[in-house]
Amino acid sequence: MAEKKLDSLKLNLLREVADLEGVPRGAYSIRVDGETFEKRSSENIVIEKKTDKPGIDIYIKAGTKRESVHIPVILAESGIKETVYNDFHIGEGADVLIIAGCGIHNCGVQDSEHSGIHSFHLAKNSRVRYVEKHYGEGDGNGKNVMNPHTVVELDEGAYMEMETTQIKGVDSTKRKTDAVLKAKSTLIIHEKIMTHGEQFAETEFTVDLQGDDCGTHVVSRSVAKDSSRQLFISDVKGNSRCSGHTECDAIIMDNASVVAVPKIVANNTEASLIHEAAIGKIAGEQLIKLMTLGLDEKQAEEEIINGFLK
């Protein structure tokens, strides 16, 4: 066990964003209040602290299988604003799980902000499952701001699956993903977002399908409550014999606003691209059915939302 200890508040944030009860096994880097709290490499996963700017380099050896690396960020002091650069180098044939995420506890009057720039380079035939959760809490007047930027480069035959979740306590977020896919590579993205109050969330996906037989599937599910606002932007370019599918499904409630801006560009006659978008309120028959089972209207709404965001 590590000698350093996290207090109960920070342990709760760690639990929320990384499903951890404490320091994880295997390779990890935990960042707390703008500094590296603790990090550890494993035999096949090496984590090095950057010397020119905040952040880390993660090197995963070729052929590494069934291993994971955790890189959560926690901000518990009001007023911290940071930009962190994390670069992932995934060796040929590796197959790993990467768990990230940021939790902010802000009980002060100043805004707290974390901007994470995560760059992934997946070598030939490597596979990554990337899980990222964002969570905010606090009873102060300061805002919780998170602006993640993910850059993905997939070599031939590489596969990456991203699961991103933001369902509580983030006042403002601009989420950007840029990806370039080479031949026979695949990028799958599942995004879940919920906003309430006066919160704002913007998501932008830009995917360049460069190699033959590459493909992407992007699904965004969101719920906008109260007077919150959401903006979904997708830009998929088919430059080869490829396939691309984006889907934006949103539930809108109260006085909220949701805007979907799809863009698909085919620069090759064998590019197959599809975009789907659906925005609407909770269906009345769904509420009635659940209320006949003994739930009140608010409980029924919560059940529907929970099922939608699963």
What's the pLDDT tens digit per position in 34-74? 999 999 999 999 999 999 999 999 999 999 999 999 999 99
Compute the distance between CA of residue 121 and CA of residue 210 in angstroms, rounded to an integer.
15
DSSP-derived 3-state class of residue 10:
helix
Question: Does 3 have pLDDT greater than 70?
Answer: no
- DSSP track, 268-308: STTEEEEEEEEEEPPPHHHHHHHHTTT--HHHHHHHHHHHH
15-24, 169-178, 248-257: the lowest-pLDDT one: 15-24
Compute the distance between CA of residue 250 and CA of residue 232 in angstroms, rounded to an integer.
10
Stretch 16-21: mean pLDDT, rounded?
Answer: 84
Compute the distance between CA of residue 103 and CA of residue 14 in angstroms, rounded to an integer.
7
- Six token digits for residue 141: 């007047």
> CA nearest 100: which of 88, 82, 113?
88
What pLDDT is stored for residue 290 in this prediction? Answer: 83
Stretch 97-121: mean pLDDT, rounded?
Answer: 95
146-155, 233-242, 298-307: the lowest-pLDDT one: 298-307
Query: What pTM does this model have?
Result: 0.93
Question: Does 299 have pLDDT greater than 50?
Answer: yes
Contact (CB, 8 A) for 230 and 196: no
Compute the distance between CA of residue 140 and CA of residue 118 in angstroms, rounded to an integer.
29
Using 50, 70 and 90 to split pLDDT, how confident is the model at 236? very high
Stretch 168-178: mean pLDDT, rounded?
Answer: 95
- CB count in 10 Å sphere of residue 174: 16
Task: Quote the Cα angle for 196-197-203, to 5°.
Answer: 50
Question: Does 262 have pLDDT greater than 80?
Answer: yes
Compute the distance between CA of residue 100 and CA of residue 216 in angstroms, rounded to an integer.
22
What pLDDT is stored for residue 294 in this prediction? Answer: 87
- Six token digits for residue 32: 């707390």
Question: Does 7 have pLDDT greater than 90?
Answer: no
What pLDDT is stored for residue 2 in this prediction? Answer: 43
Mark residue 24 as left, alpha or beta (left: phi above 0; alpha: psi -120 to 50; beta: remaining). Answer: beta
Mean pLDDT of the chain: 94
Compute the distance between CA of residue 74 and CA of residue 134 in angstroms, rounded to an integer.
10
**One-letter identity of residue 275:** H
Question: Does 256 have pLDDT greater than 60?
Answer: yes
> Largest Cα–Cα distance in the chain?
61
What pLDDT is stored for residue 284 in this prediction? Answer: 84
- Look up residue 135 and give its DSSP letter: E
Q: Where are the domains of the chain?
A: 1-158, 171-282
Stretch 293-306: mean pLDDT, rounded?
Answer: 89
What pLDDT is stored for residue 125 in this prediction? Answer: 98
Question: Does 1 have pLDDT greater than 70?
Answer: no
Contact (CB, 8 A) for 213 and 183: yes
Instruction: Give residues with Cβ within 8 angstroms of 203, minimum separation 6.
Output: 175, 176, 191, 193, 220, 230, 231, 232, 233
> CA nearest 157: which of 177, 186, 134?
186
- Look up residue 184 and give its DSSP letter: T
What pLDDT is stored for residue 213 in this prediction? Answer: 98
Using 50, 70 and 90 to split pLDDT, how confident is the model at 288? confident
Stretch 173-183: mean pLDDT, rounded?
Answer: 97
Question: pLDDT above 90 covers what percent of the chain?
Answer: 81
Compute the distance between CA of residue 197 and CA of residue 203 in angstroms, rounded to an integer.
18
Question: Tell me: the pLDDT tens digits for 125-166?
Answer: 999 999 999 999 988 789 999 999 999 999 999 999 999 999
> Tokens 């990028």, residue?
187
Question: Tell me: the pLDDT tens digits for 196-220?
Answer: 999 999 999 999 999 999 999 999 9
